[in-house]
Structure 1
């Protein structure tokens, strides 16, 4: 079982608005609402791949009730930490070519509620093969909150995937996550370096064991102490990119669960990410497109990069 922790879950509302443009009035063609947050999306994708997954997440208020009901309706295995605040909402406006996201900050977690989230996570770790930590930290969470969760996973000798950015990511590096998954912008923001490979190596020196970087239409770059690998889709894919990174994490977690290496993980992650862009909602993917792309993709080792060593 792959365990995902989403410290700041949401009710994800997606509006389909063909021809959307700012500063104008629009008629919404379709509305969809589902339980969300990065870790929830990862678990949803894993379930569609036939991989058992369980979500740990704090929920509260009327929006939390809606999230809880949708998790149950979707058959997603989950463990809830009750909180006093109301779970946040996110709104994504998709025009069929791209998307605009509006993300609320989320409720403030008290110290007691944060400790309860740690305790609930620890309760499920003995049954887990991989721990996935994903999304923003909610207001009130400790600055090293992800570092605490990474350390928990390491106590149980589990691979830990961390998908976070900014101070939350940097504060977690000393706990030595197995893989971190920033995008190119986040890499530059964290290190000040424009080249993704150079930036990834800096974060490895700071504590990450490896880096899987999302480069948008240019695919994925994986960097560890032995070198680097690349894999990219044959062409750019238009649609709703919301959740594409979560599908990358799902493929990564599934690969780690089976001890797969980068040559197997990267093509799967690229295919799954592209197939997710083709679906209107995060946490779902176009199955025929995924299978077609997966059969056509290979990963290549990137030259000119000496091993980091110990």
Structure 2
């Protein structure tokens, strides 16, 4: 099977504090602390590793936080399935702090991250140009660090296509628009990001606007309403078999992992020039919806409750939108 690359432009050293209850304005004694390699693309790699699927993880890392993140990534039980190909930067990798109470409510504080230099961005593009193979899939997830220009997204899409690879982008705002206008193969905003980016009141209207900009497939995650797939020739949706309470922070990343596995298998079964139909893509909805729900049950992003996933996945039904 062709390689799956996860690109995290703005990774983070994820720190999670678990406390009984968050009381704003009061001091808290924290006795339960976890530290994880974080950032949306790395969460995708971690979920795929738990599924037994290898990935190549890339992006930018710098400073002591970046070094610590690399160590934690290598120390994961599934770390042997994640190949690290990060670009070193002079800037410090950001911190992300999540405070989770006993009810599963999560309050997250995300630093913006340091802006990579043009030379560092060019280094990332050179790495991809030299490494990607025809049929590979690149999943670019999350924000750009600091004040990085969305124009780098246009070049990332072009770089993937020049190598004969396909690209899935999980982003919002100007970065999402740039991906669509550059002709990305897939984008996966959630419903709130879609409305923020397009100004449209409905998911269908927002997806139609993105499709008109040049992207081939729009996949939307919509919380309790489920997930939808939109193309110019058809649209499908699926609702979760049951609602799960907990921490939704990593749900979107788990769904991207599901889509990566599904799409990579589709590509492996066909010729490189083949373009999947809406129905073939939508066949991945049950796995994506169930895996996303199973991630909500876990307190830390990048992990899923596999027993719950196995219970929910057969019950998810795909229907015409």
The TM-score, its normalising length taken from structure 2, stands at: 0.90
Residue 187 of structure 2 is matched in structure 1 by: 180
Q: 1:79 to 1:73 in 2, by over 3 A?
A: same
Q: Report deviation, 1:29.
A: 4.3
Q: Describe the SS at the equivalent of 1:77.
A: strand
The alpha carbon displacement at 1:35 in A equals 0.8
The answer to whether the 8 A contact 1:229-1:262 is kept is no
C-alpha separation in 2, matches of 1:39 and 1:197: 26
Could you say what secondary structure the match of 1:126 adopts? coil
- Distance change (3 Å), C-alpha of 1:274 and 1:25: same
RMSD over equivalenced CA pairs, Å: 1.5
Partner Cα distance (1:107, 1:294) in 2? 39
Structure 1 segment 160-309 matched on structure 2, within 5 A:
160-259=167-266, 261-302=280-321
Displacement of 1:22 after TM fit? 2.5
Establish whether residue 6 from structure 1 lines up as the match of residue 12 from structure 2. Answer: no
Q: CA deviation at 1:56?
A: 0.6
Choose which of 71, 80, 88 in structure 1 pairs with 2:86.
80
Gaps of 5+ in 1: 303-310
Determine if the alignment matches structure 1 residue 150 to structure 2 residue 179: no
How does 1:41-190 map onto structure 2 within 5 Å? 41-74=43-76, 75=79, 76-95=82-101, 96-126=103-133, 129-190=136-197
5+ residue gaps, structure 2, are: 267-275
Matched residues in 2 for 1:262 and 1:211: separation?
11
> Per-residue deviation at 1:141?
2.4
What do residues 48-82 of structure 1 show as CA deviations (whole Å, max 9, x unaligned)? 11111110121111101111111111213111211
TM-score, normalised with respect to structure 1: 0.93
Deviations 1:152-175 (A, max 9, x none): 111122221000111111122221
Show the counterpart of 2:21: 19
Q: Distance in 2 between matches of 1:266 and 1:227?
A: 14
The answer on whether the counterparts of 1:219 and 1:230 sit within 8 Å (CA) in structure 2 is: yes
Residue 82 of structure 1: SS of its match in structure 2? strand
Alpha-carbon offset, residue 195 of structure 1: 0.5
Q: CA deviation at 1:283?
A: 0.7
Structure 1 residue matching 2:258: 3-state secondary structure = helix
CA distance in 1, matches of 2:181, 2:236: 24
Which residue of 2 is the match for residue 307 of structure 1? Answer: none
